[in-house]
Homo-oligomer: A and B are copies of this chain.
Amino acid sequence: DFMNALNEVKPAFGVADEELVQYTQYPIIKFDRVIDTILNDGRLFVEQVKTSERSRLFSVLLYGPPGSGKTSLAARIGMDSDYPFVKIVSPESMVGFTENAKINAINKVFNDSYKSPLSIVVVDNIERLLEWVPIGPRFSNGILQALLVLLKKQPPNNRRLLILATTSQRGILHQMGMDDAFNDELYIPNIKGMAAFKRVLESVEMFDEDELVTVITELKDVVDNKNFSIAVKKLLLMIETAKKDDNPTDRFIDDIKMLAATSSSSNDSSAGNNLVGY
């Protein structure tokens, strides 16, 4: 139950961020080898910060299309570490804050982290933290400047900090000169190709074997089309929607075909869904 879940995710000698727990409720599906690589890289960063002599600060940018799993993966890496301090800085807990209140809230998490010998801070959804909107464009320069400084500010002696940030707008970060502030970056892709697609279907145990064959046969051409990709978040939602239908298999096949048709016909280059690299 919930209490158990909570206990499971909480590391032995540390206090997990309650907010973070909710991002790790569901298991990660390894629909692509890259998911393993990302989790592995995460473990390496965790290790390096813990043991290196000089790089007591390390920052990584997780970027990729909307719904590709960035927050889940960052949260998972944080929760799987044995660091005593793991916190998330998220726009969701700052709705209605003034710019100053936001900066203070962000700054507080970093300052708190400096008190722990080993800390991870997840800076989630940078474009939303920055209050970015493409019209103008507008954004909070105050929050940007605070992040630019905090991303490079050495923790005090004997303190070590790993920063995991997420964004689906890496291009904007580049325009702001923020991408240079990270020591490394990881691309979190959408689901592409039938192999990855199938792995998700299998892991949610929605279709029996026959149905799965039907689905795969029906969708093979669509899903293996080189322009097709789908966010894991969207695929999981479509599966749930199909489940409620009288004929889940058909409904699901139809929905995916519809999606593929819409995406490929739209040439809107600003739609992030199908882009592999920005």
Show the binding face of A for B, using Cβ within 8 Å.
2, 22, 26, 44, 47-48, 51-55, 66, 91-92, 95-96, 98, 100, 103-104, 107, 110, 128, 131, 133-135, 137-139, 141-142, 144-146, 148-150, 153-154, 156-157, 175-177, 180, 183, 236-237, 240-241, 243-244, 270-272
Q: List 23 A-B contacts (CB under 8 A).
A: A22-B157, A48-B241, A48-B244, A52-B243, A54-B236, A55-B237, A66-B180, A91-B149, A92-B149, A95-B103, A95-B107, A95-B110, A95-B149, A95-B150, A96-B100, A128-B145, A131-B142, A134-B176, A134-B177, A135-B139, A135-B175, A135-B176, A183-B237
- Which B residues lie within 8 Å of A149 (CB)? 91-92, 95, 128
B96 touches A55 (CB 8 A): no
A180 to chain B, nearest CB (A): 6
Q: How many copies does the complex hold?
A: 6
* Contact (A244, B47) CB under 8 Å given A107-B95, A149-B91, A150-B95: yes
- Which B residues lie within 8 Å of A241 (CB)? 48, 52, 55
A142 nearest CB neighbor, chain B only: B131
B47 touches A26 (CB 8 A): no
